[in-house]
Amino acid sequence: MALASMLDAVREASRRRQAVPLFVCCDIPVTEGVIRACEAIGSPAILGLWPGLLTRPGGTEFAKWIQALAGQSSAPLSLMLDHGKTVEQCLQALSLGFTDVMYDGSILPFQENLANTRRVVEAARRMGAAVEAELGIVGSGSDYAAFAAHGEGLTDPQAAERFASESGCDLLAVAVGTAHGQYNSPPQLDLGRLRQIRQHVEVPLTLHGGSGLSDAQFRSVISNGISKINIGTDLVLAAGQAIAEESRGGGALYFRLGRAAREAVSARAQHYLKLFRRLGRGRGPRVLTSEGPPR
């Protein structure tokens, strides 16, 4: 199946109170495991690539390999640049055939973030690609305890309304208490803030830093307006654990280790694919007051 923008699938997920996952594809075993999971479940998913991968030797070739593999898949897939930090990185991804791009100007002043996002949107429109932008700071899990204690950088609902309207972005990533990487304390989600943002913003909302949330927390954010969720860390942790277990069992053979990693990634990706589409099919967000216990 040919790669195509995931915008329609995310919009449909928003209508149904479901979510489409973006799986960060950092190498070949992880990518193969993710695609196998998507084929097994038959659900749409986004393959995400960091911009740094494109600057490494063979990086553009790796992107082309993913495009070729995904193009042969029976699953509906898209290829998105994840956290493009500059307009130029987004333009490079578009020129390479990425179906969607994320411009992350969240650390910039509001007006600069807005202006740069507009430039990316204009370029993406000509290519038939969708654009995700970000407003608010999604911190690092290794600093989460201090970050959460101060509550700084969370997305302001009124600012989000203006940003989404004036930038023309198709998706908006918001900061409501998640972080990238492994959390050093249990994640605390501001569901009230998320509900307010959902009331102010018309485009689908996205969540970064999904690894480490409980299933109950995932259900809460989806029910309260999140329609796309990024998963990366959990996949590589699962792969690493599978490799370690295979080694301890006396099977430290290269191809066995790779197979163990792919199978572990596929199992975790299938879990998320099933979970994110398990909610009801009604219109509009269903308000939940419980975040659920962290795991």
Query: Is residue 185 in a domain?
Result: yes
Residue 11 CB burial class (10 angstroms; 0-12, 13-18, ≥19): middle
Q: Residue 135 — very low, low, confident or very high, per pLDDT cuts 50/70/90? A: very high
| Token couple for 73 | 């898949």
Residue-wise pLDDT for 100-119, tens only, equals 999 999 999 999 999 999 99
Mean pLDDT value of segment 233-259: 90
CA nearest neighbour of 198 among 168, 167, 176, 169: 176
Q: What percent of the chain has pLDDT over 70?
A: 91
DSSP-assigned states of every residue in 201-231: --SPEEE---TT--HHHHHHHHHTTEEEEEE
Place of tokens 């100007």: 105
CATH number, domain with residue 148: 3.20.20.70
Confidence of residue 74 (pLDDT cuts 50, 70, 90): very high
β-pairing, 205-207 with 226-231? parallel
pLDDT surpassing 80 at residue 287: no
DSSP line for 93-132: HHHTT-SEEEE--TTS-HHHHHHHHHHHHHHHHHHT-EEE
| Residue 147 main-chain phi, psi, to 5 deg | -60, -50
CA–CA dist 191, 220 (Å, integer):
8
Degrees, nearest 5: CA angle 247-57-67: 80
Query: What pLDDT does residue 283 have?
Result: 43
The pLDDT of 211-216, averaged and rounded, is 94
Among the listed residues 49, 50, 44, the one whose alpha carbon sits nearest the alpha carbon of residue 21: 44
Model confidence at 151: pLDDT above 70: no
Report pTM.
0.91
Is 288 within the bounds of a domain?
Answer: no
Output DSSP code: residue 139: E
Structural domain boundaries enclosing 265? 7-276
Q: How many domains does the chain have?
A: 1
Of all residues in the chain, the percent with pLDDT exceeding 90 is 79
Tokens representing 218 are: 């995932």
Quick one: average pLDDT of 264-285? 80
The answer as to whether 287 is a domain residue is: no
pLDDT band with cut points at 50, 70 and 90 for residue 288: very low
Does the residue 281 lie in any domain? no
In a domain, 141, yes or no: yes
117 Cβ partners below 8 Å, 6+ apart?
A: 103, 105, 131, 133, 163, 167, 168, 169
190 in a domain, yes or no? yes
Q: How far is residue 221's CA from residue 233's CA, in Å, rounded to a whole number?
A: 19
Q: Would you name the residues annotated as active-site residues?
A: 82
Note the pLDDT of residue 249: 72
So what's the pLDDT on residue 217? 95
CA dihedral 19, 20, 22, 23 (to 10 degrees): 100
* pLDDT over 60 at 280, yes or no: no
Amino acid at position 55, single letter: T
Within a domain: 142: yes
Confidence of residue 86 (pLDDT cuts 50, 70, 90): very high
Asked if residue 1 is part of any domain, the answer here is no
Task: State yes or no: pLDDT of 150 exceeds 70.
Answer: no
